Amino acid sequence: MSDQQSIFTCGLHATLALIGSKWKPLILTFLGQKSRRYGELKRSVRDASDKVLIQHLKELEADGLIVRTDFGEVPPRVEYALTPFGESLVAALKPLCSWGEENRTEIEASKVASRTRRIPVNHPMA
Amino acid sequence: MSDQQSIFTCGLHATLALIGSKWKPLILTFLGQKSRRYGELKRSVRDASDKVLIQHLKELEADGLIVRTDFGEVPPRVEYALTPFGESLVAALKPLCSWGEENRTEIEASKVASRTRRIPVNHPMA
DNA sequence: CTGGATCCTATAAGATACTG
DNA sequence: CAGTATCTTATAGGATCCAG
């Protein structure tokens, strides 16, 4: 009667603590295709500022989902890649990617229709 | 050469447009277990204020993921349930729930360790 | 090229009080 | 019970400028 109570209400809740930031799911998915340099990531995730992108990358690294490799070259060259842990998460993310692909048209229609509102996306804990 | 460009960079991006709000994934998952009345939902999602909870419920309904049934009784009785569309999304959400369950301990440890920071979770578009 | 440091604000979300 | 209406605030995220 001790470890039964978690700070999370369920597994999903826990997962959201790791990927519940605006660009994290996208970053992870992109890295799932292949390791990428900072610049590539920036172009892929487009719309994320340097500050936010780096901030997310650091958190992902701190959470053991990705690894940063600094080649110590000049000019600078850094590469980000998934850890096995991160890969397992990306695998779990796949269904959502597929679901989105399959229903993209529908989703897009309703979202565009309803006056292109921004999008929030906050989440529990972290 | 026209419908090839979407407002979304990928399927995941589109999905996030629907569930990228703090409590939506949780709400959907709870409804995936069974239809629930407002009060039940409120207790399940705990920590979400009435305002936010209702707001999210309305958006989910507008997006065709859930349906609201008002029994027109006194005292009021309203029930929320998943639509088939919503069910398909919940199914795609399952892997993330499982992943979170499996790694809950790890996640919790790192999250608690790093000074229990809040959690953001915004996301692209909507 | 890869970031660090600041400044700024939009807005999601929380708190409270109230109503049919 | 199931919301609505306000008010307020936290903070995630964006923009810019700078630096090794």
Model pLDDT, residue B68: 98
Residue among B18, B98, B121 minimizing CB distance to A11: B98
Bond prior to B75 in cis (omega within 30° of 0): yes
Q: Cα separation of B26 and A4, whole Å?
A: 20
Q: Say whether residue B21 is in contact with chain A using an 8 A CB cutoff.
A: yes
Bond prior to B124 in cis (omega within 30° of 0): no
Q: Which stretch, A115-124, B50-59, B108-117, has highest mean pLDDT?
A: B50-59
Q: How confident is the model at residue A76 (pLDDT cuts 50, 70, 90)?
A: very high
Residue B93 in this model has a pLDDT that exceeds 90:
yes
How confident is the model over A95-110, as pLDDT tens digits?
Answer: 999 999 999 999 988 7
User: Cα distance from A1 to chain B (closest Cα, Å)?
Assistant: 16
How confident is the model over A26-66, as pLDDT tens digits?
Answer: 999 999 999 999 999 999 888 889 999 999 999 999 999 99
Mutate to test the interface with B, among A6, A8, A12 (most CBs of B within 10 A): A12
Q: How confident is the model at residue B113 (pLDDT cuts 50, 70, 90)?
A: low
Which stretch of DSSP H or E encloses residue A27? Answer: helix A24-33
Give percent of chain B above pLDDT 90: 70
Average pLDDT, stretch B29-54?
94
- Pick out residues whose CB falls under 7 Å from strand D: A 21-23, 47-52, 56, 75-76, 121-122; B 37-39, 49-51, 54, 68, 70, 75-78, 118-123
Residues recorded for chain A: 126
Q: Cα separation of A93 and B61, whole Å?
A: 24
Give, in Å, how far the C1' of D8 lies from the CA of A37. 42
User: pTM of the entire structure?
Assistant: 0.87
Which nucleotides in chain D have some atom under 7 angstroms from a protein Cβ? 1-7, 10-17, 20
Please provide the average confidence, as pLDDT, over all residues in chain A: 86
In which order are the strands placed within the sheet that holds A66-70? A36-37, A78-82, A66-70
Q: Cα separation of B57 and B63, whole Å?
A: 10
How far CA B48 is from CA of B25, B51, B53, B58, in Å, comes to 13, 8, 6, 14
- The sign one gets for the Cα dihedral B90, A103, A123, B68 is negative
